[in-house]
Amino acid sequence: MLKVLDIDTFYGEVQILWRVSFKLDFGQTIALLGRNGMGKTTAVRSIMGLTPPRRGKIAFNEKDITRVRHYQIARLGLALVPQGRHIFRSLSVRENVVFAMRGEGFSEEDIYSYFPVLKARSHHKGNELSGGEQQMLSIARALLSNPKLLLMDEPSEGLAPIVIQTIGDIILKLKEKGLSILLVEQNVSLALKVSDYVYILHKGEIAHQCTKNELMENTKLQSEYIGVSKYGST
């Protein structure tokens, strides 16, 4: 489904990613892990065409999207839950939801079944929501574009543990529905809960790849590249 092949990505003349390669198969959830500043968000931006790689190739469903504009990539079936949420704060919850609706699959009622709190607060403006509610709205908005692949960039960032648990439960439900997911996370506990396979970014390179069970059992690897102790976050 998604193949990232030896990409080098720059901001200006500063290289951030070095020969990064990974793949995601249909229906799979993979986690991209690593400490802050290691290139995880840049990898997502490269895939979505927001910061295209200077070298290498990105393919989605066998189509080369390396030089495709970001809005065209979205039309192919990729959706991003961005770091920082970026909802329309001056619009109501329902206006945010309706604005995002495209194609067939997830409906407004489906979204409210996943996130009942959004239905209860459907007439509240985005800036009246808590951080957790804003994150739920950001996920809901991405789902309503009816993606084939959902990219989630740090969805647990800044959230209370009970909200993180809710987000994890939602991701598991989406997996059961067959949605393919690329998860960028600092919260290793969440990543291990929902992922099938893990790639670890270190200083802009893929330092290791393994199943989530292998990472669970390898405390040295956790400490060296992620900086965790028994599945905690950095």
Measured N-to-C along each axis, helices 131-143 and 93-100 cross at an angle, to the nearest 10 degrees, of 20
d(CA 91, CA 95): 6
Kindly report the length of the chain. 234
d(CA 164, CA 144): 21
| Residues 6 or more apart whose Cβ sits within 8 Å of residue 149 | 1, 2, 24, 60, 77, 78, 79, 179, 180, 181, 182
Domains of the chain: 1-77+150-162+182-221 (3.40.50.300)
Tokens representing 72 are 């065209």
d(CA 128, CA 230): 36
d(CA 220, CA 115): 38
Tokens representing 6 are 């030896």
Within a 13 Å sphere around the CA of 179, how many CA atoms are in the beta-carbon half? 26
pLDDT one digit per residue (tens) for the chain, 234 residues: 999 999 999 999 999 999 999 999 999 999 999 988 899 999 999 999 999 999 999 999 999 999 999 999 999 999 999 988 788 888 899 888 887 777 677 888 888 889 999 999 889 998 898 989 999 999 999 999 889 999 999 998 888 899 999 999 999 999 999 999 999 988 888 999 999 999 999 999 999 999 989 988 888 888 888 875 444 443
Parallel, antiparallel, or unpaired for β 78-81 and 149-153? parallel
pLDDT digits (tens, 9 = 90+) for 134-150: 999 999 999 998 899 99
What is the DSSP-derived secondary structure letter of residue 32?
Answer: E
